[in-house]
Chains A and B, each alone.
Chain A
């Protein structure tokens, strides 16, 4: 069942249509990747989902109820361009955000204490934000976003500014939130993160949704019937002459000094036939489908629409 439903949403800025008939469904407890080049209209869509703005046409619902500002306590939002009050202490800052999300002062205090202990930052409590490093500030920002246990979490480029260690920590947190049932919308330009974390994705371009679906289904959909064979010896010519019925589209020596040949099968050819042909004459040590990466699909889709 979809937790978030976006139905035929339009948003205009002056005469420009920045969201053009967008529909999305984000299932409960899943991580949904939102992709798109700069200026595609991601922020506009995210702002509507974060109840900052409302659609000019169409509707958005959360848990089958029309989304409105009363839902804000169920939503956690970490924008791409983010910041905190420089002159406020870490603990005051976190208390403020928790209270904004509807927590009482006592509740907020408990929650702040819990998270500071969990992330081992108790010693920062009375430090002012301006005294913290960028990475530390990002950590506080992340806590402030999830402190109130949101049911729907919107993360716009959550890893920017983190070093690899902290990025992994945040990644683990995101996964554990997902496991607890949080629905997460995740927007980024880093495709490896999308493949690693997301269950589904949508690509937005010029205000329109050009592609959406489950990650694996999409990758399969763009599968080009290409297979890679890996050989132990690197006598390329031998293999190329031996081949008389399969199209070779790429030949290369990989970083281990092994030969990798990419074949593209015709409609009447099967991967089993391909394997059979080479397994007799050559020392094959690898045979795999060449699935397109999300990166390739994204670049392909966006450039073809330009």
Chain B
């Protein structure tokens, strides 16, 4: 026990004192926020094509001629050479499309508009899936309106039948009260947690691996294992790096709290202003609206199962890290140089990557579905899958069953890894293979 402590202490202190660690602790939250903020911004906004698109519209159906000609950045105009209602003979591509004067030519040749199967969009450069869907949806709603109009329903009736808004979810909380619930918020919280766990496992797992490799390649290990058992060395290393991870994590939480509290103070001083304004003014209405939205958000935030979230996060963050890092430690002890690492790292890290993919599909489709439950019980994927599910509410029994499986697997894995570690750490020269690993496990 004492030996593990000495190893742990060295592992922890040398890392904490390291300049890179200190800089990363302060910079990483900013870098990560900037990176993902940027990525999300460009994914949602940057890729959007907002240029004006002009499309020829030809149809021999009179109803089609009555639809709106402009929406968003699209404009439909008649093909100049074909009279309205005339039939299109498509022998060669329209020269205006060819020369880029218009972006496309929409030809609706269906007589029965309840089915748009024969409708074609002729283009020179293919439209994106989103663009195609936008046009499709617009056409359908416009045609529906025209059909209804043709059946004698007035414009005002159509407008009044326009449904806005969406479903709000109310669920029963742990104390039996009904509360607002937001799937979006839950997905967001779940996914962020899953991602942090995924990221930490890789970051700190590879730290354990590099540390084992450093001791081997610098030939320090032979002296150390004449004083401590290889298992103690491996375990002390894993725990020491885990503490580094937790320290960094809590430092980030502290920094975020300072940041959030700072912003909160700034915001609250901003909200007081409209209250001093005369009643009924536009500003006041907006302020009330924004406060209601804020209350909504607070309500949603309050509806999250915090006890479960904290327990799951700590339990699975640590469990996932322990499981993967014990494997990474064995790999680090077995290889002789950095370049040999890849062949072992890839197959070992695939389950976790797979877990994150499953987590994405789970969170948007069925957080408590069959798939989610199965992968919550597989220890190699459960850390990320459980994290993504927990904001939606999981039973305590499921949490503890999954955690028990995870930790049990860790104990088996650390036992196997220790065998590889013990022999690998003194094996120099030839590059190890999976076959060697199997042999070493059997040998000791």
What residues make up the interface of A, taking CB atoms closer than 8 Å to B?
A: 47, 50-52, 69, 72-73, 75, 77-79, 81-88, 92, 96-97, 99-102, 144-145
Q: How distant is B75 from chain A, measured CB to nearest CB, in Å? A: 65
Q: What are the 10 A-B residue pairs with the smallest beta carbon separation, nearest first? A: A83-B219, A83-B218, A50-B226, A100-B227, A77-B226, A79-B222, A81-B219, A99-B6, A72-B227, A96-B10
Query: Which B-chain residue is minimally distant from A96 (CB atoms)?
Result: B10
Query: Which B-chain residue is minimally distant from A49 (CB atoms)?
Result: B226
Evaluate contact between A100 and B3: CB separation under 8 angstroms: yes
Evaluate contact between B220 and A84: CB separation under 8 angstroms: yes
Q: State whether A97 and B223 are in contact (beta carbons under 8 Å apart), knowing that A84-B218, A86-B218, A88-B14 are contacts in the complex.
A: yes
Q: State whether A52 and B426 are in contact (beta carbons under 8 Å apart), knowing that A88-B14, A97-B223, A100-B228 are contacts in the complex.
A: yes
Alpha-carbon distance between A148 and B89 when the two chains are bound, in angstroms: 98
Determine the chain B residues whose CB is within 8 A of the CB of A145 once the complex forms: 223
Alpha-carbon distance between A84 and B13 when the two chains are bound, in angstroms: 16
- Pick the residue among B219, B226, B428 that contacts A75 (CB under 8 A): B226
**Which of B222-248 touch A at CB < 8 Å?**
222-229
Evaluate contact between A100 and B6: CB separation under 8 angstroms: yes
Known contacts A51-B226, A77-B222; 18 additional CB pairs below 8 A are A47-B426, A52-B222, A52-B226, A69-B229, A72-B228, A78-B223, A79-B219, A84-B220, A85-B14, A85-B220, A87-B14, A92-B10, A97-B223, A99-B6, A100-B7, A100-B224, A100-B228, A102-B2
Q: How distant is A221 from chain B, measured CB to nearest CB, in Å? A: 34
Evaluate contact between A82 and B223: CB separation under 8 angstroms: yes
Query: Which B-chain residue is minimally distant from A13 (CB atoms)?
Result: B443
Would you list 23 pairs from A and B whose C-beta atoms are within 8 A, ordered by A residue? A47-B426, A50-B226, A51-B226, A52-B225, A72-B226, A78-B223, A81-B222, A82-B219, A82-B220, A82-B223, A83-B219, A83-B220, A84-B220, A86-B218, A88-B14, A100-B6, A100-B7, A100-B227, A100-B228, A101-B227, A102-B2, A144-B223, A145-B223
Q: State whether A82 and B228 are in contact (beta carbons under 8 Å apart), knowing that A87-B14, A88-B14 are contacts in the complex.
A: no
Determine the chain B residues whose CB is within 8 A of the CB of A99 once the complex forms: 6, 9
Alpha-carbon distance between A77 and B221 when the two chains are bound, in angstroms: 12
Determine the chain B residues whose CB is within 8 A of the CB of A79 once the complex forms: 219, 222-223
Alpha-carbon distance between A102 and B226 when the two chains are bound, in angstroms: 13
Alpha-carbon distance between A298 and B9 when the two chains are bound, in angstroms: 47
Alpha-carbon distance between A51 and B218 when the two chains are bound, in angstroms: 21
Determine the chain B residues whose CB is within 8 A of the CB of A81 once the complex forms: 219, 222, 428
Determine the chain A residues whose CB is within 8 A of the CB of B229 once the complex forms: 69
Alpha-carbon distance between A171 and B120 when the two chains are bound, in angstroms: 93
Alpha-carbon distance between A75 and B225 when the two chains are bound, in angstroms: 12
Q: State whether A82 and B224 are in contact (beta carbons under 8 Å apart), knowing that A69-B229, A99-B6 are contacts in the complex.
A: no
Alpha-carbon distance between A73 and B228 when the two chains are bound, in angstroms: 10
Query: Which B-chain residue is minimally distant from A85 (CB atoms)?
Result: B220
Determine the chain B residues whose CB is within 8 A of the CB of A50 once the complex forms: 226
Q: How distant is B243 from chain A, measured CB to nearest CB, in Å? A: 17
Alpha-carbon distance between A85 and B214 when the two chains are bound, in angstroms: 8
Alpha-carbon distance between A232 and B23 when the two chains are bound, in angstroms: 79
Evaluate contact between A96 and B223: CB separation under 8 angstroms: no
Alpha-carbon distance between A78 and B18 when the two chains are bound, in angstroms: 28
Determine the chain B residues whose CB is within 8 A of the CB of A77 once the complex forms: 222-223, 226
User: 1/0 per position for B199-227, CB-CB distance to A under 8 A?
Assistant: 00000000000000010001110111111
Alpha-carbon distance between A249 and B219 when the two chains are bound, in angstroms: 49
Q: How distant is B8 from chain A, measured CB to nearest CB, in Å? A: 11
Evaluate contact between B227 and A96: CB separation under 8 angstroms: no
Alpha-carbon distance between A86 and B213 when the two chains are bound, in angstroms: 13
Evaluate contact between A85 and B226: CB separation under 8 angstroms: no
Determine the chain B residues whose CB is within 8 A of the CB of A72 once the complex forms: 226-228
Q: How distant is B224 from chain A, measured CB to nearest CB, in Å? A: 7
User: 1/0 per position for B1-37, CB-CB distance to A under 8 A?
Assistant: 0110011011001100010000000000000000000
